[in-house]
Structures are given as structure tokens and as C-alpha cells.
Amino acid sequence: MQTKRMTFSSGWLPYLLLAPQVAITLVFFVWPASQALWQSMLRQDPFGLRTTFVWFRNFQRLFDDPHYLISLKTTAIFSLATTVLAMSLSLLFAVMVNRMIRSRDAYTTFLVWPYAVAPAIAGVLWWFIFNPSVGILPYMLRGLGIDWNHRLNGNDAMILVVVAAAWKQISYNFLFFLAGLQSIPQSLIEAAAIDGAGRFKRFWTIVFPLLSPTTFFLLVVNIVYAMFDTFGVIHATTEGGPAQATHILVYKVFRDGFVNNNLGSSAAQSVILMAIVIVLTVVQFRWIERRVNY
């Protein structure tokens, strides 16, 4: 990693400059993470009197626990659905906005602001719209003969949290897709048009492949978002219910740690989540390196 050709020389100043950041990182990031690692191998008896070292038994128990496996599956479905919904809608909007000339800025303004809405608030907004007794959508769905109740029906609850989570993420994806589209040289598209390729053909054979670095980057970002940042959506609305239908992993760590007081298991779950984040971060940064060398 390079520095400037010419640098200052001072024995202690750089350490002083780095001190605040490094201190916070060590105290609030590295230390708790190592604690999680340590606690994941301990087990406390129900009264908190005795702690025993149990090696990997907490992990073993976790993977034997049907609740955890269901939560894994729920998380996979939730992240995938959120990612696909948010990305496909924002790609559609970005392609359309990219065709506009005068109205581009106006549409962009209208599409970017949900970024500012906290996931928890996005959850509450859609929760209200989908509310079985006063919400608008269930009222309209009743007209179609569908009885909507996300308090009883697990699928309805899942749809609710997916819609809320995806709604908030559209603006982020939209901005990156739009930037990606604008960096595609117009000459390529014109050349294809001269060769007689129609709009759809041009999109699938030229635009979409050239956009793939952006798409891949957003795929990782969206999965990270859906897995970790959506805690608020779940906690403020369904609270993991009904019957654990929306009990995603992050929510389960929180529940097991704070409500059920099962520290060993919660720590083991934390360690698994850390492993997932680390893998995703590495994938994301590998991609960035590749793009730089392009």
C-alpha cells in the first residue's frame, strides 16, 4: 500500500493520529468479537452459577436444533426474495430513467429519498398499509377474495417484511444502476442499432452484460443488507412471528441473547454470522480489485 513520495517524519505523531480510531475498534469491535468466540465454547447452567468449557458442542447443538435450521431457511428465503425484488425493480426504473432527458432529475429525486427512511420505519409504514383491520391493501385484497392476515398467516407475514425491506433498498440500487448505465458508451448501442438489433435484444446482449460488475456488486450489498440491516423491519413489526415464520438469524441472536438468556448459543450464532459477513466482505473486495484491473 503506497504513501506519498514525500512524507513527514515523526516517531510518535502517526500513532497519536491513529489512536482514537484504533482504540474504538479494539474496545468495541475486536474485543467483543473475541468474547463471542470465547463464549461460544462455554455453557452456563440455568442459574448462572457454573460455567463449563464445552468446545464446539454449542455449534453442534445449534445444527441439531430444528429451530435454527428453520431460521437459516427463513433467512435464505427472505434475503433472496428481498434482493431479487429490490434489484429487478430498481434496474427497471434505472433503464427507464436513463432514456429520459429533461425529466431525469425529477424522477431521480422522487426515487432516491426512501434511502433516508430507517428500516424500522419502513417496516411500520408497510405494516400499517397491510394492517388487516384498517389497512388499504387487505381491503382491496378482500375485494379479490383474498383474506389477508399477517398475524396468523406466515406467508403473508413474509411478504410483508420482504416488501418493506425491498422498498427501502430500491433507491440505493437505482442510483448504482443509473451510474452503471451512464458509463456504457453510447457508440456500442448505436452500432448495435445500425446492425438492426431491437431494444430488447440490445438490452440483453449489450447493456446487461456490461452492467454485470454493478449487478454483482449490488447482489452482495443487498444480501448483506437483507441479512443484517433488516433487524428493525422484523423487530418493529412481526417480531419474528407468526410461529417463527419471519425469525431471521439476526433476530434469533438477539432473542436468544436478551430474551431467552441463552448466552452460549447466542454467542455461537454470532460467530456463524461473523463468518458469513467476513466471506461476503472478502467477495465484495475481491470484486473491487478485479474491476480496478479491468
Partner 1 sequence: MVENDRWGLLLAHLILILGVAVVVFPVYVAIIASTHAPGTFLQGVMPLLPGSHAVENYRSVIFEGRSNAGAPPIGLMLWNSFVMAVLIAVGKIAVSLLSAFAIVYFRFPFRIFFFWVIFLTLMLPVEVRIVPTYQVVANLGMLNSYAGLTVPLIASATATFLFRQFFMTVPEEMLEAARVDGAGPWRFFKDILVPLSITNIAAMFVIMFIYGWNQYLWPLLVTTDDRYYTIVMGIQRMVTGADSEPLWHLVMATVVLAALPPILVILFMQRLFVKGLTETEK
Q: How far is the CB of 170 from partner 1 (least distance, A)?
A: 7
- Mark residues 181-220: x for contact with partner 1 by CB under 8 A, - for none: --------xx--x-----x-----------------x---
Binding residue count for partner 1, defined by CB under 8 A: 104
287 binds partner 1 per the rule CB under 8 A: no
Binders in 235-264 for partner 1, by CB under 8 A: 235-237, 239, 250, 253-254, 257-258, 263
Is residue 135 within 8 Å of 128, Cβ to Cβ?
yes
Q: How far is the CB of 72 from partner 1 (least distance, A)?
A: 15
283 binds partner 1 per the rule CB under 8 A: no
Query: Residues for the chain: how many in total?
Result: 294
Phi then psi for 266, rounded to 5 degrees? Answer: -60, -40
Please enumerate, as own/partner, the contacts of 104-113 that have beta carbons within 8 Å and a separation of 24 or more.
108/174, 108/175, 108/178, 111/170, 111/171, 111/174, 112/171, 112/174, 112/175, 113/171
112 binds partner 1 per the rule CB under 8 A: yes
- Mark residues 52-91: x for contact with partner 1 by CB under 8 A, - for none: -------------------------------------x--
Residue type, 115: Y
**Crossing angle for the helix pair 57-64 and 263-293, to the nearest 10 degrees:** 90
> Using CB under 8 A, which of 75, 148, 231, 246 touches partner 1?
231
Residues 6+ apart with CB under 8 A from 143: none
115: three-class secondary structure by DSSP: helix
CA distances from 226 to 124, 154, 157, 161, 206 (A): 17, 18, 16, 10, 29
Q: How far is the CB of 275 from partner 1 (least distance, A)?
A: 9
> Using CB under 8 A, which of 228, 241, 242, 244 touches partner 1?
228
Q: How far is Cα 226 from Cα 231, in angstroms, rounded to an integer? A: 9
By C-beta, is 17 or 69 nearer to partner 1? 17
Q: Which stretch binds partner 1 (CB under 8 A): 11-19, 47-55, 69-77, 153-161?
A: 11-19
Bond from prior residue into 242 cis (ω within 30 degrees of 0): yes
> Using CB under 8 A, which of 84, 114, 149, 244 touches partner 1?
114
92 binds partner 1 per the rule CB under 8 A: yes
